[in-house]
Amino acid sequence: MSILKVEGVVQRFGGLVAVNNVGFNVGQNEIVSIIGPNGAGKTTLFNVIAGTYKPSEGSIIFKGKEIAGLPAATIAKQGLVRTFQITSLFSNVSVLESLKIAQHRTLESNLFNVLINAPSVRAEEQVAEKRAYEILALLKLENKANHLSDSLPYGEQRLLEIGIALAAKPDMLLLDEPAAGLNETETIELMGLIALLRDEGITILLVEHDMNLVMSISDRILVLANGTKIAEGLPSEIQTNPDVIEAYLGGDIMDFSE
Amino acid sequence: MKMNKTTTKLLQTIPVLILLAVPVVVTNNYVLNVLIMAGIWTLLASSLNIMIGLVGQLSMGHAAFYGIGAYISGLLSVRLGIPIWLGMPAAGLATTFLGYLIGKLTFRVRGSAFVLVTLGLGEVMRLVTNNWMSLTNGPLGLQGISPVKLFGVNFTYKHYYYFILLLVLLVSYIIWRIKNSRFGRAFIAMNENEPLANAVAIHSERFLVLAFMISTCIAGIAGSFYAHYVTFISPDLFLLSNTVTIVVMVIVGGKGTVLGPIVGAIIFTLLPEWLRAIDNYRMLIYGLILMFSILFMKRGIVPSFARIIKKKRGALHEYS
């Protein structure tokens, strides 16, 4: 059963067509990667799915409901949570507090109960704190709980980003280049973490340039070039697909940045 | 990581006990009056802090809500004989509703809209109250607002002091509770990183409007208190300089903290009084102190001192 169904999505910016008639499905508990040369429209597609942009055309069905064009926060509320390509944290907030902020989706105490510090609020706060520590343990950042997010080394900041997304208890995670800037050891740890998330029942859609990571953890891969989907299939199929090789190594526009 | 519970309790209770004891020791009405005014400014600074310090939006019309609260309460008293006990809730509700309307309109588009609309509101209100002679008595001001009376007791300075102290404690408690709840966290998240806040299901608009409503409600209540305390109000309440004073109190005291605006309000109410003695040099000294605190305590007085204390323990945390 598919959790996310993207159909005929077009995103235009003035005369530029950044995403052109792209459609695909992501099944429950799958890990699907989107790859493609720079400028292929991967991040734009992500932004459309996550609600940053309203698509010019097409439909996006998440858990059976149309989400195309909804505000980002509404989409997140439904369980589709994203991370950002460029490190994005609550900089001046402690690591622990960040993970509490991110649990907003699952907390529901009302303002009145907060003001009188009702038992239900205290119980909810305890659960939030406990869950924050669980995530810290998962990320192996327990000893950094009270550090400012900004003060963490880069690798840990990227881990915290995933932790923040995770704290929102998503059904599906959109990870935008999670391995960007990580060294080899850190990338391997990240792969372990992603696999672990999948085991917990989270569906994952990934944009990534690190081919080792993509090929080893993806169930399926989607290839974009110039805003169009040019291939879709198992990692082994993608590796030998002539269109994909053409897109990466030859064709109209040469791009050696990979 | 956490301070000893009894130490924290003591640190919270001792200042409150001292504040409660003040009228027993101080019988000078002038001093009490200054302290009561400090209390009013504390309410204003604390409420503006929700906007500047927590959600990170600059409201340049805070004096407008203060003035509107004062005029609603004042007019209800003068025209209809309604006492503060009904006038104050009315003022609070009206400014909350106005905050809702302005928030709904301006937070839809981000950027300067909010600053400009709030800035304009103060000026519009000043012109309206100045020119609507039949209702507000124009620049002559509204006189004869009934002083506060409870169970047949006419309030003296001592009573007003306890009344404003109660309001200050209540508001501080409310802000402290909100700050440490999912609401306060949502406020801070928007201030820190709005796209990320959205990504974890925090609706910016909804929480900005909520924060503004809480903020304007408190300002309206402060205005109502002022009207019934001074018993005279004029369009000068809406002057931009009042808003600027509140902004300065929040920034110098330490935005984002519960204690900061209180410290800022007390300093900037007492300081001009102390400096009265040197008359002509008053504004000069005032300006120097302002410059000094901004240069050397960028985050404000309270966070700067908190930093020194916390550095010893290794843990740093903003917004505390």
Counting every residue written for chain B, the total comes to 320
DSSP-assigned letter for residue A197: H
Q: What is d(CA A79, CA B285) in angstroms, rounded to the nearest whole number?
A: 56
Inter-chain CB proximity A111 and B178 less than 8 Å? yes
Q: How many CB pairs under 8 A join A and B?
A: 114
Inter-chain CB proximity B202 and A84 less than 8 Å? no
Q: Provide mean pLDDT across the span A108-135.
A: 88
Cα distance between the two ends of chain A: 34
Q: Which residues of A are less than 8 Å from B202 in CB distance?
A: 73, 101, 104
Q: What is d(CA A11, CA A19) in angstroms, rounded to the nearest whole number?
A: 5
Q: Lowest mean pLDDT: which of A33-42, A172-181, A211-220, B103-112?
A: B103-112
Nearest CA in chain A to B2: A146
> What ranges do the domains of chain B cover?
27-238
Q: What is the pLDDT of residue B320?
A: 52
Q: Which pLDDT band, with edges at 50, 70 and 90, does B164 fall under?
A: very high
Nearest to A141 by CA among A161, A126, A123: A161
Amino acid identity at B319: Y
Q: What number of other Cβ atoms are within 10 A of residue B13's Cβ?
A: 10
Amino acid identity at B102: I
Amino acid identity at A139: L
Residue-averaged pLDDT of chain B: 85
CA distances from A229 to A20, A34, A233 (A): 8, 10, 11
pLDDT surpasses 90 at B171: yes
Inter-chain CB proximity A91 and B193 less than 8 Å? yes
Both tokens of B34, joined, read 């200054």
Task: Kindly report the nearest CA distance between residue B56 and chain A, in angstroms.
Answer: 13
Pinpoint the residues of chain A covered by CATH 3.40.50.300: 1-79+170-258
Which among B1, B178, B203 is the nearest to A114, CB-wise? B178
In the CATH hierarchy, which top-level class contains the domain A1-79+170-258? alpha beta
pLDDT digits (tens, 9 = 90+) for B60-79: 889 999 999 999 999 998 88
Which among B1, B192, B202 is the nearest to A104, CB-wise? B202
A111 touches chain B (CB under 8 A): yes
Which among B186, B210, B318 is the nearest to A92, CB-wise? B318
Q: Which residues of A are less than 8 Å from B317 in CB distance?
A: 93-94, 97, 146, 148
Q: Which residues of B are less than 8 Å from A104 in CB distance?
A: 182, 185-186, 189, 200-202
CA distances from A70 to A176, B167, B224 (A): 20, 42, 42
B contact test, residue of A70, A90, A148, A164 with most B CBs within 10 A: A90
Q: Provide mean pLDDT across the span A190-204.
A: 90
A70: helix, coil or strand? coil
Both tokens of B206, joined, read 């909804």
Task: Kindly report the nearest CA distance between residue A233 and chain B, in angstroms.
Answer: 29
A52: helix, coil or strand? coil
CB B168 within 8 A of CB B15: no
B64-83 as b/e: b if 16+ CB within 10 A: bbbbbbbbbbbbbbbeeeeb
Q: What is d(CA A45, CA A163) in angstroms, rounded to the nearest whole number?
A: 23
Q: What is the pLDDT of residue A255?
A: 47
Both tokens of B301, joined, read 């007085």
Look-up of token digits 């990571």: A213
pLDDT surpasses 50 at A258: no
CB B233 within 8 A of CB B145: yes
Task: Kindly report the nearest CA distance between residue B198 and chain A, in angstroms.
Answer: 4
A203: helix, coil or strand? strand
A183 touches chain B (CB under 8 A): no
Inter-chain CB proximity B185 and A100 less than 8 Å? yes
Amino acid identity at B47: S
B contact test, residue of A62, A104, A149 with most B CBs within 10 A: A104
B111 touches chain A (CB under 8 A): no
CB A145 within 8 A of CB A87: no
Q: Which has the higher per-residue pLDDT, B290 or B258?
A: B258
Inter-chain CB proximity B189 and A165 less than 8 Å? no
Q: Which residues of A are less than 8 Å from B181 in CB distance?
A: 109, 114, 121, 125
Task: Kindly report the nearest CA distance between residue A230 and chain B, in angstroms.
Answer: 29
User: Within the 236-255 window of chain A, which residues sit less than 8 Å (CB to CB) from chain B?
Assistant: none
Q: Which pLDDT band, with edges at 50, 70 and 90, does B259 fall under?
A: confident
Q: Which pLDDT band, with edges at 50, 70 and 90, does B92 fall under?
A: very high
Q: What number of other Cβ atoms are within 10 A of residue B277's Cβ?
A: 8
